Structures are given as structure tokens and as C-alpha cells.
Amino acid sequence: MAITKLLFCACKGTCVPKRNFTTLEEFKANLHKEGATLVEFSGGKVPCILVSPKKYEEMLGKVYGKRVSADTLLDIFYDGRDVFVDVNIKFRDTDFEENFLLYANDMLEWFEALAESGMIAMGPSETTYTNSQNIFMIQLPKKDAAEKALEIIKTNAKNRVARGMKDG
């Protein structure tokens, strides 16, 4: 599989790619396990990355009471059939930085909401924690990066759901 890599920076500074993968197996092994969803916010949909309750509490502890800004990097890998997006979120002036590898073929609506809203949310993965008060919203400083990423995903995600990420 010949993999093309593109980097879209939705941050104010300079972005540097964080991770590299070379085989489909490496991509599968590093997929974000807690999942992602869409949440309703101000009459629209905002994409939300789900994290473990422990990770969510850790994140809140690092940003609570601070004026926070975040850099978001969309690192896109594609081969003409499969598209993976490694979402890197770094809260400035903290040591909180996380990567979330997503299989974009099955998440077109999620990436459309990202491009439309210019926001990304983070929330706890367990339903006992999930309600509108437990969602942390991040405004992307550069919405155009999400729009460009969506174009790449739409063009290259040829095998949605039906392929099921099978080799070959």
C-alpha cells in the first residue's frame, strides 16, 4: 500500500507531524479505541472525541481555571481507498497533548461537522459521565484546515463501511 501523507494545521503556530505508520496493521493497532460521536450544540452538530473518564479528568485538571488555547493538527494518511486522520490536540501552556487516530472512511459525517462547525469536543466515553455539561469544546483557530481535510477525505475514502478495512 503506497501511503500519501498530508498535514493540515488548525493552529496559530507551526505544526510538526507527530506519528508515522507504514502498514495497514500499524494503522489498525493504533486506532482510537474509545470512539467518536456527534453532539448537539447551539442548533448544530459538533464532532466529539470520546476519552476514558480518567483521561477526561486528567485533561480537565490541567486546564481548570486557566485561559486555555489549543493547537489542533489533522495528519491525514491515505492510499486511494483508506483514509486515516491522526488528530493531535495540544493545550498550550500545559503538558496535555494527545493523538487520536480515526478511520475517516466510516466517519464522513463527523468530518463534515468538523469543517462546518470549526469546533471539536472532547467528552468521557462512559454514558454515566456523558451529558451536555461534561463536554469540553475547542474552537479551531483555522477552520479552513478542517475544510481542506474534508476535501481530501471525500476524494480518497473510496471504500466506506462496506470494505470493513479488510486487506487487499
Distance CA 37, CA 83 (A): 18
**Angle CA(96)–CA(99)–CA(101) in degrees, nearest 5?**
160
Residue ranges per structural domain of the chain? 4-159
Read off the pLDDT of residues 80-139 as tens digits, 9 standing for 90 and up. 888 999 999 998 888 889 999 999 999 999 999 999 999 999 999 986 555 556 889 998
- How many helices (DSSP H) and strands (DSSP E) are in the chain? 4, 8
Give 13-45 pLDDT, tens digit per residue.
Answer: 545 557 888 888 999 999 999 999 999 998 999
Q: Is the pTM of this model over 0.75?
A: yes
Per-residue pLDDT at 9? 52
